[in-house]
Structure 1
Amino acid sequence: MNQLLHVSASPHIKDRVTTSSIMLDVIIALIPATLFGIIQFKINALLIIVTTITTCVLAEYLYERFMKKTITIKDLSAVVTGLILALNLPSTVPLWLPVIGGLFAIIVVKQFYGGLGQNFMNPALAARCFLLISFTGRMTNFAFDGMTSSTPLAILKNGESFDLIRMFIGNTAGTIGETSTVALLIGVVYLLIKGVIKLTIPMTYIITFSIFTLLFSPCSFDFYYLACELCGGGLILGAFFMAADYVTSPMDQKGQIIYGVLLGVLTGLFRFFGTSTEGVSYAIIISNLLVPLIDKFTLKGGVYQ
């Protein structure tokens, strides 16, 4: 006779670690990129980061209090959502825009679907894509050294070259947290040491995108161009800090590989065959939507069988 099983929301981790400890590790890992963004983009970046995090935490607290649900702000997931969203915003946006983004991320994407573990896509990236669609001009207005400037990927798409060292260090235009590859990689090393993330999804994503770039980009088999593409446009931020999110990624390794390949192909399609120079955010949220289907065909003996 079949038994009805009650399964809690993901992530399902058989360990002594808690959600709050994982979220704290993610926050710590993002500190180098956050500090670099503040140094690079000055007071504007700091105000955007503080505003976005405050909005996300308050939105979660007020919604749960109004709906008479358990208050969960102590798990720090709202802080992580706000920080990641802020790092994906240009330093030029007005402060009302991250407020809208934070409300959308927490209320619409997270709480309307049951809270942490029930959201069907990454809340921060969903909010970023919502803002990109709704306020395209403001979300694509980048500044560097106090002047409006094109991002390295926009320059590359126009057929010009860009200094790879500058991209690796981060002395370029871009969103607050995406410019410094070295700062992001410091955070990645921390997450790997703490065992918070595994390399399956990020490396499959990066390898697939690299192969796609070498084969189908305007500069085929140009490894310097490939390195620039890897260091630009938030690919490192997306691959290690958002694509590998426990809640919105496949459960087993086979599914994670399929997911990583899908991410790499979609990012390449958006960057080289689309009108935008970016592609990471849309690639991740589209792939998030396909995770239940991936799990259905890759889990053995799971709930979908």
Structure 2
Amino acid sequence: MSEPLYHVSANPHVRDNGSTQKIMLDVIIALLPATIFGIYIFGAPAAKTIVITIVTCVAAEYIYQKLMKQPVTISDMSAALTGLLLALNLPPEVPFWLPIIGGVFAIIVVKQLFGGLGQNFMNPALGARCFLLISFAARMSAFTYDGVTTATPLASLKAGESVDVLRMFEGFIPGTIGETSAILLIIGGIYLVARKVISPIIPCVYIATVAVFVTLFGGHGVDIQYIAAHLFGGGLMLGAIFMATDYVTSPITNKGKVIYGIVLGILTGLFRLFGPMAEGVSYSIIIANILVPLIEKVTMPTPFGIVKGGKSNE
């Protein structure tokens, strides 16, 4: 009698009846409230940036796979999601060529050159954002609101100025297209948890660690307004809910997720309080992505019948 054939595929491995396309669509749906709000407060420039970035990412994946004679996988929606995430991490009024460069970098350099979906060692959208921050710092840090170029609330907070926490929670502040409204990002996160697309462990531990860190080292003690400003400001909610939870670049064990979330929170706190920048989420997630293999090695449970050192205990 012939042996059964088993299908072996690259990660991410999904342990239910969902497909990669369904997961990507769920994440896109969860991002829609923040996306629509970003277009509402920033107008046509935001819409243009979003469209250019998504089209660039999808086209880059299609062209690369055609040239490399690989199966075309743009129907799985992962390239479209990468484009949307990258766009939401950009200022609304960047020149048209900047999201094109970022989209090509995200898909070709970070994703495809490492083997495609499931093989990249960092989140493609965040990798591209950090590349753009390093290469075009002035354009990536110019934020406008109501037609006026102004500092973000986090930059004002770092300078010792007061900020309006309620407006930060609602989203009526300068920032990147998709990071401003904490409440809409949280609603998107609740949707993903309810759909079992993500676990709440990483975002909850990440956000809680940032709260503890700024309480201990922020110089304001238990100042609720100061703590809330750090939680609702910048890219923390967007990063914690939608990018730190990326299947490919985050731990799979619950213990690993807790450690990963703590590392993310500490790094973000260090960057924000002791670094030259007001933000720090993007770099924190990328550094933590690199540490994931080590976290997995330490937290992976030992198979039954095996003791430490790889020897059988039978």
Give percent identity, aligned residues only: 61
Rounded to whole Å, the distance in 1 between the matches of 2:124 and 2:297 is: 23
Moved over 3 A (4+): none
Per-residue deviation, residues 200-249 of structure 1 (Å, max 9, x unmatched): 11111011111101000132221110001100001000000000111100
Deviation at 1:12, TM superposition (A): 1.4
What are the equivalent positions in structure 2 for 1:192-211 lying under 5 Å apart? Answer: 192-211=193-212
RMSD: 1.4
Amino acid of the structure 2 residue aligned with 1:52: T
> How many angstroms does 1:284 deviate by?
0.2
The residue type equivalent to 2:156 in the other structure is: I
1:34-45 correspondence runs (5 A): 34-45=35-46
Pairs within 5 Å for 1:1-305: 8-301=9-302
Q: CA deviation at 1:6?
A: 8.8
Q: Do the aligned residues in 2 keep the contact of 1:60 with 1:78 (CA within 8 Å)?
A: yes
Tell me how far apart the structure 1 counterparts of residues 148 and 13 of structure 2 sit (CA, whole Å).
Answer: 47
- Structure label with greater radius of gyration: 2
The one-letter code matched in structure 2 to 1:14 is R
Alpha-carbon distance in 2 for matches of 1:174, 1:295: 34
SS at match of 1:179: coil
Shift of the alpha carbon at 1:193? 1.6
Tell me the amino acid that sits aligned with residue 212 of structure 1: F
Could you tell me which runs of 5 or more consecutive residues in structure 1 were left unpaired when the two chains were aligned.
Answer: none
Please tell me the residue identity of whatever aligns with 1:164.
V
User: How many Å separate the matches in 2 of 1:278 and 1:263?
Assistant: 13
| Normalised TM-score (structure 1) | 0.96
CA distance in 1 between counterparts of 2:15 and 2:232 reads 35
SS of the residue aligned with 1:219?
Answer: coil
94-103 vs 221-230, which deviates more?
A: 221-230
Q: Is the 8 A contact 1:218 1:272 kept in 2?
A: no
Structure 2: which amino acid aligns with 1:112?
A: L
Shift of 1:300: 2.1
Deviations 1:91-135 (A, max 9, x none): 121010000000000000000000000000000000000000000
Q: What is the rounded CA distance, in whole Å, between the counterparts of 1:20 and 1:135 in structure 2?
A: 33
Q: Distance in 1 between matches of 2:252 and 2:235?
A: 24
CA distance in structure 2 between the aligned counterparts of 1:117 and 1:102, rounded to whole angstroms: 18
The alpha-carbon deviation at position 40 of structure 1 amounts to 0.7
SS at match of 1:133: helix
Contact 1:49 / 1:83 at 8 angstroms: preserved in 2?
yes
Which letter maps to 1:44?
Answer: P
Gaps of 5+ in 2: 1-5, 304-308
Alpha-carbon offset, residue 8 of structure 1:
2.7
> 3-state SS of the aligned residue for 2:264?
helix
Question: Could you list the per-position Cα deviations for residues 120-175 of structure 1 after superposition, in whole angstroms to 9, with x for gaps in the alignment?
Answer: 00000000000000000000000000010100000101111111111011110000
